[in-house]
């Protein structure tokens, strides 16, 4: 009974996600679903990413997911980028319907890249397609290099993995090679990038990854 209901929920989600995907792709938008633990640095990374993309003439928009508050959408708006906040009111992930409801609140026809920052959670968001082109998993060095083995689902489904807060690497026991090896054990072709939103180290590679996937390369 529970299993069947869960399956129905996922099927319903997939149908709406498919509608979102058709809509976003038909507008030429690259949509990326950022997934990682609370505090892994998703919003700080987004702030830096949006600045760099703006400088490259790429127009962005952001959907922010959190249980409560609009703090993240306010941080993104302060970057001069259109942002909407979804509050899940205790819910542990975004679903396709919640994204569908806010798409009209963004100037989609004037955007090249849509970032969706999911609720901070390395587990549940992995199961819910939102209609994105790809999931990007974010893991910070302060979380430990054992996480890819302990939480393999999202690493299996991701199109790219970002290891963030590299500026704190020397203060931790995080072994980049071990983390990368464990990520590739569950997802062999996964691109893994080590970076720091604070210092900018590694950001160029991440920019290159995004730019290679955007249809419109420059509006500068």
Tell which one of 7, 15, 18, 68 touches a second copy (CB under 8 A): 68
Owner of token pair 């004037």: 110
124 binds a second copy (CB under 8 A): yes
Cβ proximity to a second copy, 105 vs 146, nearer residue: 146
Q: What is the DSSP letter of 199?
A: T
**Binding segment (CB under 8 A) for a second copy, from list 27-35, 128-136, 148-156, 206-214:** 148-156
- Could you say whether residue 90 binds a second copy (CB under 8 A)? yes
Map tokens 């072709």 to a residue: 189
List all residues 6 or more positions away from 84 whose beta carbon is below 8 Å from its beta carbon. Answer: 62, 63, 64, 73, 102, 105, 106
Rule CB under 8 A: choose which of 118, 121, 187, 196 binds a second copy.
Answer: 121
What backbone torsions phi and psi does residue 66 show, to the nearest 5 degrees?
-150, 160
- Indicate the SS3 state at residue 163: strand
The answer to whether the CB of 122 falls within 8 A of the CB of 151 is: yes
Task: Please report whether residue 55 would count as binding a second copy according to CB under 8 A.
Answer: no
- Please report whether residue 118 would count as binding a second copy according to CB under 8 A: no
Pattern 27-46, a second copy, x by CB under 8 A: ----------xxxx------
**To the nearest whole angstrom, how small is the minimum distance from the Cβ of residue 109 to a second copy?**
31
Binding flag, residue 9, a second copy (CB under 8 A): yes
Contact 31, 23 (CB under 8 A): no
Q: Angle, nearest 10°, between helix axes 42-55 and 203-211? A: 70
Does position 209 interact with a second copy (CB under 8 A)? The reply is no
CA–CA dist 218, 220 (Å, integer): 6
Q: Which residues bind a second copy (CB under 8 A)?
A: 1-2, 5, 9, 37-40, 66-69, 71-72, 90-92, 119-124, 127, 139-140, 142-144, 146-147, 149-153, 165, 167-168, 171
């Amino acid at each position: 009974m529970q299993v069947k209901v869960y399956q129905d929920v996922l099927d319903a989600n997939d149908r709406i996600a498919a509608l979102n995907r058709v809509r976003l792709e038909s507008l030429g938008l690259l949509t990326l679903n950022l997934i990682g633990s609370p505090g892994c640095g998703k919003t700080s990374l987004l702030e830096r990413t949006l600045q760099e993309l703006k400088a490259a003439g790429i127009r962005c928009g952001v959907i922010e997911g959190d249980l409560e508050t609009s703090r993240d959408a306010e941080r993104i708006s302060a970057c001069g980028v259109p942002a909407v906040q979804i509050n899940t009111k205790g819910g542990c992930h975004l679903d396709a319907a919640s994204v569908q409801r806010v798409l009209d609140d963004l100037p989609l026809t004037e955007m090249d890249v849509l970032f969706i920052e999911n609720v901070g959670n390395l587990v549940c968001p992995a199961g819910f397609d939102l209609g994105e082109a790809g999931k990007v998993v974010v893991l910070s060095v302060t979380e430990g290099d054992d996480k890819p083995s302990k939480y393999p689902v999202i690493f299996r489904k991701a199109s790219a993995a970002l290891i963030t807060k590299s500026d704190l690497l020397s203060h931790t026991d995080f072994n980049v090679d071990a983390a990368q090896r464990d990520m590739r054990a569950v997802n062999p072709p996964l691109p893994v990038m080590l970076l720091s939103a604070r210092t900018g180290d590694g950001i160029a590679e991440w920019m290159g990854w995004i730019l290679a996937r955007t249809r419109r390369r420059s509006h500068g």
